[in-house]
Amino acid sequence: TMDIKIVKDQQAGGQAGYQLFADALDAGANVFGLATGSSPITIYQALTASDLDFSDKISINLDEYVGLSATNPQSYHYFMQEHLFNQKPFKHNYLPDGLATDAEAETSRYDRIIENNPIDLQLLGLGVNGHIGFNEPGTAFSELTHKVALTPSTIAANARFFADPNEVPKYAYSMGIASIMQAKHIVLVAYGENKAQAVAQMIEGPVTEAVPASALQNHANVTVILDEAAASQLQ
Ligand code: F6R
């Protein structure tokens, strides 16, 4: 079932998301699945401003660019340190290792981490095209962690952040839809008009691999936090 919460703006969404983390801690959650991107930032701000204690908790991030180290400002690891981990220490922060060159070994290592640390609460953003993690339209729902070839448009969009075009990531490691679906509670946040169509397809459209987030209709416990613009195409 999907519980839809419509909030005034991204600030209020941060408070709503924060409350779900606080409730999860109260309920004894140990493992938090985390996302990068703009949508979770207000939740991370609310968490860092709070006195919630994660020092004996585990985090597991969705994805990382292949080829980027944790010290590269464009890496997802760096993003997480900046927005959350530096201010809120965890017992351990797991992310895919962007420098791992053996994709088979790295993705199975990550699947084992998830297996050994079942995710209590998984935070997700939503792509304009309905993607979750780096699972683009057409990705099989059965995929666990895998290496993804970034689309030419994503590579082009990222190019502006790099002095050397050869450094622009062409691949990422990402949890798959099947990895994400194992989480006990999923919290997806989406804001703005440009997400409205993907939100409507995710919640009201057919469950189809053409819309990766529509898989969430088959999950028992999903909370969706939206602003009014993102909710504007719901019936
Ligand atoms: C981030 C991730 C992506 C984003 C999505 C939305 O770790 O996996 O799926 O959640 O692209 O990004 P924003 O929130 O920037 O609109």
| 38 CA distance to ligand 1 middle (Å) | 7
Which helix or strand (DSSP H or E) is residue 174 part of? strand 171-174
In whole numbers, what is the pLDDT of the chain averaged over residues? 97
Where b means 16+ CB within 10 Å and e means fewer, 177-199 reads bbbbbbbbbbbbbbbbeebbbbb
The catalytic residues are 63, 129, 131, 136
- pLDDT of res. 165: 85
Q: Flag whether the pTM goes above 0.95.
A: yes
pLDDT digits (tens, 9 = 90+) for 97-149: 999 999 999 999 999 999 999 999 999 999 999 999 999 999 999 999 999 99
Ligand 1 contact via 63 beta carbon (within 6 Å): yes
Ligand 1 contact via 136 beta carbon (within 6 Å): no
| 77 CA distance to ligand 1 middle (Å) | 14
Tell whether the model's pLDDT for residue 45 goes beyond 90. Answer: yes
pLDDT band of residue 157 (cuts 50, 70, 90) is: confident
| CA dist., res. 17 & res. 84, Å (int) | 14
- pLDDT of res. 153: 85
| 189 CA distance to ligand 1 middle (Å) | 9
Average pLDDT of 12-27?
Answer: 98
Reported ipTM: the value is 0.98
Please report, for the chain, the start and end positions of each structural domain, with discontinuous segments joined by +: 2-227
Tell whether the model's pLDDT for residue 167 goes beyond 90. Answer: no
* Alpha-carbon distances of 63 from 119, 134, 147, 186, 223, rounded to whole Å: 15, 7, 10, 16, 21
pLDDT digits (tens, 9 = 90+) for 48-85: 999 999 999 999 999 999 999 999 999 999 999 999 99
Q: Which of 43-47, 75-79, 152-156, 211-215 has the lowest mean pLDDT?
A: 152-156
Q: Please tell me the CATH code under which domain 2-227 is placed.
A: 3.40.50.1360
- pLDDT of res. 30: 98
pLDDT band of residue 154 (cuts 50, 70, 90) is: confident
